């Protein structure tokens, strides 16, 4: 939070408000609609993971556990509360936590891969480091695949494809918001996955705030681009992709609690 406050002060609040005004309500609403598409992709992916390990889980329970995990993740450092999806399934909590880790790590691996490819193009001087990162990432993915293939059949191709789609949805959101104030060009396109990759490497912010915003400032400034649009886009991404599913989760949890209390009262 301190990092977020420093970044807002550094960029000057008046300029940030001006950029927010350029984005406009319509773009924010469209970004929110895209966030619902992202939730749908997550839901399909989560169902695939559950189907082979906890087959008795239905679609409704899968969605409830996904949104419940998002609600817990909002109020925990680095969104670790998402590992508690199994609490909302009411069974196989350890398995659900492991599957959540697979879900998050598969998406994170794709994020790092896309970010590394973009950085390879933008900064040729970093290619030695990026090659090492590719080797480490490839080794970890191979180790994970060998370890998990023995636990039962998982549709790894579908999981990988949905992880790519999940990342592209959120990166498209960011690009859409940024280009309200910055001309669309190849540098902006490549900057977006680098920002997401840096955020993935340093998932340290409480409420998921601060790191992505600082990364956005760093990447855009290094490319000679105005950082204010990237900062505003990062905040709106947080609202749409973190607060929205968490809010839906809390509403669903609350409605279930009220129904349970009503039945007990009767």
Give Cα 107 to chain centroid, integer Å: 8
| E strands, the chain, in order | none
Q: Tens of pLDDT along 176-212?
A: 999 988 888 999 999 999 999 998 887 665 556 778 8
Residue 88 clears pLDDT 80, i.e. is over it: yes
Residue 84 clears pLDDT 60, i.e. is over it: yes
114, burial (CB in 10 Å: exposed 0-12, middle 13-18, buried 19+): buried
3-class secondary structure, 150: coil
Nearest to 34 by CA among 253, 239, 231: 239
Residue 152 clears pLDDT 80, i.e. is over it: no
Is residue 145 a contact partner of residue 156, using CB atoms and an 8 Å limit? yes
For the chain, the structural domain boundaries read: 2-265
Report pLDDT for 87. 86
Q: What is the Rg, in whole angstroms, of the alpha carbon atoms belonging to the chain?
A: 19
Greater confidence (198 vs 147) lies with 198
Report pLDDT for 38. 94
In 12-92, alpha helices (H): 13-53, 59-74, 85-89
φ/ψ region of 149 (left if φ > 0, alpha if ψ in -120 to 50, else beta) reads alpha
List C-alpha distances in Å: 14 to 18, 22, 135.
Answer: 6, 13, 44
Average pLDDT, whole number, for the chain?
A: 85
Is residue 35 a contact partner of residue 163, using CB atoms and an 8 Å limit? no
For residues 201-227, b (16+ Cβ closer than 10 Å) or e, as one string? eeeebebbbbbbbbbbbbbbeebebeb
């Amino acid at each position: 939070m301190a990092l977020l406050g420093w970044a807002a002060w550094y960029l000057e609040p008046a300029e940030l408000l001006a950029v927010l005004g350029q984005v406009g309500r319509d773009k924010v609403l469209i970004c929110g609609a895209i966030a619902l598409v992202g939730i749908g992709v997550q839901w399909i992916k989560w169902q695939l993971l559950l189907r082979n390990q906890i087959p008795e889980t239905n679609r409704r329970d899968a969605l409830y556990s996904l949104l419940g995990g998002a609600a817990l993740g909002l109020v925990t450092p680095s969104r670790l509360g998402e590992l508690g999806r199994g609490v909302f399934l009411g069974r196989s909590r350890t398995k659900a936590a492991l599957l959540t880790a697979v879900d998050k790590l598969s998406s994170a691996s794709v994020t790092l891969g896309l970010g590394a490819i973009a950085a390879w193009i933008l900064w040729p001087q970093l290619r030695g480091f990026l090659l090492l990162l590719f080797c480490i990432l490839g080794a970890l993915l191979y180790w994970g695949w060998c370890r998990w293939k023995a636990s039962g059949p998982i549709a790894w191709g579908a999981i990988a494809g949905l992880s790519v789609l999940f990342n592209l949805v959120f990166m498209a959101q960011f690009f859409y918001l940024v280009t309200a104030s910055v001309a669309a060009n190849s540098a902006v396109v490549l900057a977006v996955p680098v920002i997401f990759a840096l955020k993935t490497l340093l998932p340290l912010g409480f409420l998921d705030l601060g790191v992505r915003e600082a990364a956005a400032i760093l990447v855009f400034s290094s490319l000679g681009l105005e950082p204010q649009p990237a900062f505003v886009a990062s905040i709106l991404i947080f609202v749409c992709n973190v607060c929205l599913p968490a809010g839906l989760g809390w509403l669903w949890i609350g409605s279930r609690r009220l129904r349970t209390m009503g039945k007990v009262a009767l």
